[in-house]
Amino acid sequence: MLAEYVAARAAARNIHYGWIMAGLVFLYSLFASSALGVPSVLMREIAADVNVSMGELSASQGLRFALFGLAAPFAGGLMLRYSPRKMLTIAGSLALAGLLLTALMTSRIEMWFGLGLLLGIAPGLTALQLAAVVSVRWFTTHRGLVVGLLNGSIATGTLIFMPLGAWIAEHWGWRVALIPSGLGLLIMLILYRLLGKDRPQDLGLAPFGETVVAPVTPAPTQNFAAISFSGLRTASTRLVFWVLALTFFVCGISSYGLTSTHFVPFCGDLGFPLVTSASLLAMIGIFDLVGTIGSGWLSDRFDNRLLLAIYYGFRGLSLIWLVESNASLWAMSAFAILYGLDFIATVPPTVKLTVGTFGRDMGPVVFGWIFAAHQLGVGMMAFGAGVSRDALGTYGPAFLLAGVMCLVAAAAFGLVKRPAATVPA
């Protein structure tokens, strides 16, 4: 088969197949996240073309986020029960179907089914647990670096392709703006089907950093929901789980819930043109990739509790500084760079602490529930910041609140003890 041939050629050049897997997942996540994010910046164009109100269109987006949040806690159980390759195939196919239906839609029913239902369920079937599963199964050394690389692609794909989609829509229409993401997603889905494997043992390899090919643990026979709830029951007895869940809730509030949804209108309130605002958002995405990969590298070498305390503290101070600074292009650019470096830098050390505490198999399952807390924070801030803006006429209090909560999250890691090494670090 093609994967075996590529693995043999890579081994001849002293390249572990895990790096090929990481590359496949990186590019898949880049295009999948962009396919899901681009419609969010085309709301006005879609509403006018399909002849629906912004309220109804926003409601379909609310359904999308709700389904994503509801499905995400079970992603780890699904991949443990049915394999990452199968779940990525299903998720990618649903995303393509939803994107195609969205691009062709002419009615409310198609809007709700494509933009709401399909594009909501699709990302929840793999969520951030895909990066956790691939990094844990294929890597022992450099695991944090790989987590950072894979998760960096998610935020970067969303934030970079959103301004690109807006530019394409301005020149050729919103339906054409969906093509680049959809085409890239289709290509990566085909490549993953041809080259993707569930474990290194499928190719007769040990994880990168090990020399012994360990026997594969049989897949559990329980249904995926039972696996996920079993992980939650086990995790809920540990203080570290609650600290990680609550701080990741704050991460959702201070990242996607705040910036991805409200940063462009926040810049608009300050008098910046739309193109400039979108460019600042893209700048956050570019520096997020650098910061998240760097965070992964650091998480392989330093105490993850200390890193998380620093990240949340730095993010909190940057948000507070943003509100208190002058609204100049220089100040906004400086914020985009500094905040971008820390946008989701919290993910690699959070995954490492989770896997280090709960093990190679159950760690990604437990992380699914921690990620659910993150998504709850995203939804609450996306809604709350908009309500606050309408009531007070400014986004300032929402950004200040997020900053203060980040400082509290930073202090919370004083409660966490270093985990016993249940899996190789």
CA distances from 93 to 22, 24, 89, 119, 187 (A): 20, 16, 6, 10, 12
Report DSSP letters for 275-315, one per residue: HHHHHHHHHHHHHHHHHHHHHHHHHTTS-HHHHHHHHHHHH
Work out the average pLDDT over 340-357. Answer: 90
Q: Give the pLDDT confidence of 127-152 residue by residue, as tens digits.
A: 777 888 898 899 988 888 888 888 77
Q: What is the dihedral of CA 310, 258, 166, 40, to 10 degrees?
A: 120
3-state secondary structure of 139: strand
Q: Which pLDDT band holds residue 258 (cuts at 50, 70, 90)?
A: confident
Token representation of residue 159: 């934030």
Matching residue, tokens 């779940």: 87
Domain annotation for the chain: domains and CATH numbers = 1-201 (1.20.1250.20), 230-417 (1.20.1250.20)
Give every CB contact of residue 290 below 8 A, 6+ residues apart in sequence: 152, 340, 341
Residue 139: φ, ψ to 5°: -135, 135
pLDDT of residue 240: 93
How many CA atoms are closer than 13 Å to the CA of 378, on its beta-carbon side? 19
Average pLDDT, the chain: 86
Residue 174: φ, ψ to 5°: -70, -30
How far is the first Cα of the chain from the last one, in angstroms, to the nearest whole number? 32
Report DSSP letters for 96-136, one per residue: HHHHHHHHH--SHHHIIIIIIIIHHHHHHTTTTHHHHHHHH
The closest alpha carbon to 364, from 83, 28, 37, 33, belongs to 83
Q: Give the pLDDT confidence of 106-124 residue by residue, as tens digits.
A: 888 998 999 889 988 998 8
Q: How far is CA 401 from the centre of its chain?
A: 23
Q: Which pLDDT band holds residue 175 (cuts at 50, 70, 90)?
A: very high
How many CA atoms are closer than 13 Å to the CA of 301, on its beta-carbon side? 6
CA distances from 231 to 91, 136, 251, 305, 330 (A): 22, 17, 22, 22, 47
Instruction: Tell whether the model's pLDDT for residue 404 goes beyond 50.
Output: yes
The closest alpha carbon to 424, from 138, 11, 78, belongs to 138
144-158, 180-194, 296-310, range with the lowest pLDDT:
144-158
Q: How far apart are CA 159 and CA 279, in angstroms?
A: 10
Q: Give the pLDDT confidence of 81-103 residue by residue, as tens digits.
A: 888 999 999 999 999 999 999 99
pLDDT of residue 93: 95
Q: Which pLDDT band holds residue 423 (cuts at 50, 70, 90)?
A: very low
The closest alpha carbon to 351, from 77, 158, 199, 128, belongs to 128
Largest CA distance in the chain: 64
Contacts of 17-20 with CB under 8 Å at 24 or more apart are: 17/138, 17/197, 17/200, 17/203, 17/205, 18/138, 18/139, 18/146, 18/200, 18/205, 18/207, 18/208, 19/208, 20/195
pLDDT of residue 420: 59
Q: Which pLDDT band holds residue 54 (cuts at 50, 70, 90)?
A: low
Q: What is the pTM of this model?
A: 0.79
Q: Which pLDDT band holds residue 265 (cuts at 50, 70, 90)?
A: confident
Sort residue 393 into left (φ over 0), alpha (ψ -120 to 50) or beta: left
pLDDT of residue 422: 45
| Cβ contact 366:351 at 8 Å | no
pLDDT of residue 75: 85
Q: Give the pLDDT confidence of 385-400 residue by residue, as tens digits.
A: 888 888 888 889 999 9
Give every CB contact of residue 94 below 8 A, 6+ residues apart in sequence: 118, 121, 122, 125
Give every CB contact of residue 228 below 8 A, 6+ residues apart in sequence: 73, 74, 76, 77, 365, 368, 369
Q: Which amino acid is at 261?
A: T
CA distances from 403 to 245, 253, 287, 316, 390 (A): 18, 10, 19, 4, 20
Query: Count of H helices and E strands in the chain?
Result: 20, 0
Of 67-76, 99-108, 207-216, 307-316, highest mean pLDDT: 307-316
